[in-house]
Amino acid sequence: MIKETLISQFQNRETPFYFYDMDILRKTISKIKAANTYGFHVHYAIKANANKEILTCLFDAGFGADCVSGNEISKAIQMGVQPSKIAFAGVGKTDKEIITALEAGIFSFNCESLPELQVIDELAGKLNKTAPVAIRINPNVDPKTHKFITTGLTENKFGFNHQDLTKLAALLKSLKNIQLTGIHFHIGSQITDIEVFKELSLKVNAFSDWFEEQGLKLEHINMGGGLGIDYQNPETNTFADFEAYFAAFHKHLKLKQGQELHVELGRSVVAQCGHLITRVLYLKEGQSKNFLITDAGMTELIRPMLYQAYHAISNLTSKQEEHAYDIVGPICESTDVFATNLWLSEAKRGDLLAIHSAGAYGEVMASQYNLRDLVTSCTSDNFRS
């Protein structure tokens, strides 16, 4: 997956660091565009990876932005995204962030509660502006993914539940500085069963009809993101099934005349292009297992510790007979474990390991816990230049 010519250059770099294969990213972008024959609007979810080179590549390709903070909105605009292509989600938007979005003139606030609508209306009135809003609704669809990244079930902190809609309709008609433009859904992340998006589409059709019956016109439907990748086989199954993803909406979602469809892809765009490169510090022999202690830990990639997530790991230096190891980091936490009982080419101090499929929710979630240095990054373009 990582070219041999690059591995020799990695030896001279201080570890740990993130390596992004820009050829993989560009191929992913091409596949998304080829699959999107329906003219759907694609927003990239900045929260997945906010690396400057990554953002430049994606926004130069014409994607809009899905933002969940005021700083993400400012970053998107700084990177050249037109405000008319920026959606702003999040259950806890601050007044400062709302004002940032209002002054920028973004495409849509994805609103998640009655009090939030009232605050946006008040702030928009003070600025003499009208806020375009899409109502985020929990369709109670099981995304069949990890419970920590499920977001669309009833009694989740995100979005409106079905029983809230009558109060919502009355409130929307009373607010003077709000313009309802759409409805928004996001049921979770790392969804690999395309049937889930079919079920979501059928439920969205019913919600769309309900809003029309209330005399509330919807200009767009935002289906969120959530499309997953193959973490088990990143080399042989590098790209998500974008064709099936878009086709599920085209086939099952009944857009009304003049309605537009928006989606917010994140993980499926950037995950497979990223690798965390780390060096073996020590091989520690236990009574029943062997530990490989690396210089990367949960401060560089927290997904395995936070979500019990699996990442393929390979020894870039050694091609020897495989042995079983627990791959652990240096952080003073027992949970600082990347993998247990993982079969890996025989390792020694100084070997370089690659933790694959780390382009999403990796570098962007890094911390300086234990006062560690913040992880650095480079791209394949850097090595060519």
| Model confidence at 164: pLDDT above 50 | yes
**Cβ density class 179-208: b for 16+ within 10 Å, e for less:** ebbbbbbbbbbbbbeeebbbbbbebbbebb
User: Are 43 and 87 spatial neighbours (Cβ–Cβ below 8 Å)?
Assistant: yes
Other Cβ atoms less than 10 A from the Cβ of 251: the count is 10
Residue 57 has pLDDT above 90, yes or no: yes
Q: What is the pLDDT of residue 151?
A: 45
| Single-letter amino acid code for the residue at 143 | P
CATH architecture of 4-16+272-384: Beta Barrel (2.40)
What's CA 74's distance to the chain center, in Å? 18
Residue type, 349: R
For the segment 98-114, the average pLDDT, to the nearest whole number, is: 97
pLDDT for 286-316, tens place per residue?
A: 888 999 999 999 999 999 999 999 999 999 9
Identical fold between 4-16+272-384 and 22-269: no
Do strands 178-184 and 220-222 pair parallel, antiparallel, or not at all (unpaired)?
parallel
Please give the DSSP secondary-structure letter assigned to residue 153: S
Q: Predicted confidence band at 152 (pLDDT cuts at 50, 70, 90)?
A: very low
Q: How far is CA 337 from CA 163, 303, 305, in A?
A: 42, 10, 7
Question: From CA 137, how far away is CA 265, in angstroms rounded?
Answer: 18
Higher-scoring residue by pLDDT: 151, 133: 133
Average pLDDT, the chain: 94
- Give the separation between CA 282 and CA 276, rounded to whole angstroms: 18
Domain boundaries, the chain: 4-16+272-384, 22-269
**Res 33: pLDDT:** 98
Work out the average pLDDT over 194-200: 94
Write down the residue that tokens 């997956």 correspond to.
1
**Which band of pLDDT confidence, cut at 50, 70 and 90, is reported for residue 2?**
confident
Q: Which of 3.20.20.70, 3.30.70.100, 3.20.20.10, 3.40.50.1370 is the CATH number of 22-269?
A: 3.20.20.10
pLDDT confidence tier of residue 146, bands split at 50, 70 and 90 = very low
